Structure 1
Amino acid sequence: MNNILNKYNSLINNNKQQPNQNQQPMFLQQINNPQYWINLFNTFLSNLVKIILLSIFFWLLYKFGKKIVGRVTYNLRTNATSSNRSRTIATLTQNIYFYFLAFIYIYMVLSIMGAPVGTLITGAGIFSLALGLGAQGFVSDVVTGFFILVEQQFDVGDSVSVGDISGTVAYIGLRTTQIRSADGTLNYIPNRNITIVKNLSRGNMTTVIDLQLFPRTNIKKVTQVLEQVNNNLTPHVPDLVQAPKLIGPVDVQAGLLHYQISLNTKNGAQLVVKRQFLEAYLAALQQANISMPENTLDLTQ
């Protein structure tokens, strides 16, 4: 009786283990199923065609936008805009347009491939927030530089004064502006630090010659001599906008009389014209026997 029960139990156990030996994992079942490969190939082919068509569409869209930017830049150059500003604006606009299209393109490609775009955007948003907090100065430089270019505050070659730095603008960028001082020093100024700009190259310039005379000097004779110089020299100085204006005596300081002459010149020529007239004034006053004060160095003590 026991032998019969043992045989019966062993038979039941064999029947229970038989399905487990024949059963295969789900992954192997999918690989061995031809329909799985057919569906996978159809999905891959469909997504590939979508990505190719999408790439062609965005490529044409980028070319079209680049052409429009080029046309706008050409119009800026035609309207007497500096080539440096027009090139910078064109480059900035093209970069912004390219990155905008690239972001949308990547988003759509990931959506076609079935990637979790929402999770990726959330993670990218946190990263962008951290990056933005650390790059506030850079963003401020770029924004300020863009408005400097658009508002035409100054151009390359202009004489400007920014804070304690004065000189000629050598380069205008989106992040920094380069100003070369009179001694040759090249100053790099972040655009966010440019708050007040004195542009000395817009319109005509006025310079003043300050002659120092003795208080006992005959002012009428001095005026006659200076007027004669103006009449003779003015026709030969094309950089003068109008004839020099004799302001006359203005002050007495340290025992000397200050006699001033105002010169209105073209932009950038004020120093050259000032030297020409000052040299002529001094020569004419000496020829007219008008005494001029001299600074002497006393070494007796």
Structure 2
Amino acid sequence: MNNILGKYNLNKNSQPNQQHTNNGQTQLFWEQINNPQYWINLLNTVVSNIIKLILLSIVFWLLYKLGKRFVSRISQNLQHNETSSNRTRTIATLTQNIYFYFLAFIYIYMALSILGAPVGTLITGAGIFSLALGLGAQGFVSDVVTGFFILVEQQFDVGDSVTVGDISGTVTYIGLRTTQIRSGDGTLNYVPNRNITIVKNLSRGNMTTFINLQLFPHTDVKAVTKVLSQVNQKLTPEDPDLVSAPHLLGPTDVQNGLLIYQIQIDTRNGAQLIVKRKFLEAYLTALQAAQIALPENKLDLTQ
């Protein structure tokens, strides 16, 4: 009971002291308000800060323009060096954005410092927020970083025939987050860049394809070679996609009791399938016209 009364008396005695403190603060505030020098100092501070912000804005605007012009000049030089225009534009845009965000961060930091804001406390809070955001955006960051190196290392360009994992087709778009690949059946595949680990680029340099003809073991190989050579002499000058005349490699294997006669064809990239179909049709037609018997089982065109 005595403890309760003691606390009550203490609170009762402290209330006049708090009221006296509040009255003193209120009186000091009104004294400052009524003092002309207070308003003069406040006006000088505001004008000084505004002038500093204007000068700071002009300096950073000039820095941004100079950096943008520098990046544009570099991108023009890359285009003159026959670099892919899509890659050049993407790299230039990425560089400009990184440079802009870097300047914006420094500008905001210096502006807050001029205004007297607690920049250290704000940066600490922003760091915690950025950490939480970064943990949830790891995939996005991985896509951007991988996309950047795909562009810089020139792994593939728009129009290239590529194989990424189990997806094969023609590249239609290269971005910092995703790559678009259109398959042969018309399907448009959106591939996150972080999933691109191994790329088979079929459009870099000349391509080699093989035709495997299945013959009966008792077939006259010399007669087959003569017929195929006549086809090559006729079609080779007519096909601009051929790098060289097809090479008749001859019998290479025996599978399921049948003789495998192989032809190697070197073509320009992207034309290997078209040329392969054209010569295969001509070979079969010529062999049938020469009355050379062929097995009736299906030919393996996937090799």
TM-score by length of 1: 0.89
Instruction: Output aligned runs, 1:5-84, within 5 Å.
Output: 25-84=27-86
What secondary structure does 1:76 align onto? helix
CA distance in structure 1 between the partners assigned to 2:234 and 2:36 by the alignment: 105
Q: Structure 1: any 5+ residue segments left out of the alignment?
A: 1-20, 297-301
User: How far apart, in 2, do the equivalents of 1:91 and 1:108 lie?
Assistant: 26
Q: Counterparts of 1:132-151 in structure 2 under 5 Å? A: 132-151=134-153
Which residue number in structure 2 is paired with residue 119 of structure 1?
121
| Residue number in structure 2 paired with 1:110 | 112
Q: Give 2:282's aligned residue.
A: 280
The alpha carbon displacement at 1:246 in A equals: 0.4
Stretches of structure 2 lacking an aligned partner (at least 5 in a row): 1-22, 299-303
SS in 1 for 2:184: coil
DSSP 3-state at the match of 2:259? strand
3-state SS in 2 of match to 1:81: coil
Aligned-partner residue type, residue 58 of structure 1: F
Deviation at 1:254, TM superposition (A): 2.2
The letter of the residue matching 1:115 is: A
Q: Could you say which residue in structure 1 is the equivalent of 2:130?
A: 128
Distance (whole Å) between structure 2 residues aligned to residue 272 and residue 176 of structure 1: 30
Give 2:275's aligned amino acid.
Answer: V
Instruction: Map 1:1-301; keep pairs closer than 5 Å.
Output: 25-295=27-297
Matched residue of 1:29: which SS?
A: helix
Deviations 1:222-275, CA, capped at 9 Å, x for gaps: 011111111121111111111110011122222322111000011111111112
> In structure 1, what residue type is equivalent to 2:76?
Y
TM-score under structure 2 length normalisation = 0.88
**Which segment drifts farther, 223-232 or 65-74?**
223-232
Q: In 2 relative to 1, CA 35–244 (structure 1 residues): closer, same or farther, beyond 3 Å? A: same
Q: Could you list the structure 1 runs, at least 4 aligned residues long, displaced by more than 4 angstroms after superposition.
A: none
Counterpart in 1 of 2:15? none
Root mean square deviation, CA, Å: 1.6
- Name the stretch that deviates more: 128-137 or 68-77: 128-137
The percent of aligned pairs where both chains have the same amino acid is 78
For 2:106 and 2:117, the matched residues in 1 are separated by: 15
Tell me, what secondary structure is at the counterpart of 1:86? helix
CA drift of 1:101 comes to: 0.2
Distance 1:282 1:193 in 2: 42
Matched letter for residue 113 of structure 2: S
The residue that corresponds to 2:17 in the other structure is: none
Which residue in 1 is equivalent to 2:12? none
Which one is further off, 233-242 or 198-207? 233-242
Cα separation, 2, equivalents of 1:261 and 1:242: 13
Compute the displacement of 1:295 (Å). Answer: 4.0
Q: C-alpha distance in 2, partners of 1:269/1:36?
A: 83
Counterpart-to-counterpart distance in 1, 2:192 and 2:117 = 41
Match of 2:19 in 1: none
**CA–CA distance in 2 between the matches of 1:234 and 1:176?**
41
Cα drift, residue 100 of structure 1? 0.3
* Separation in structure 1 between the aligned mates of residue 102 and residue 235 of structure 2, nearest angstrom: 62
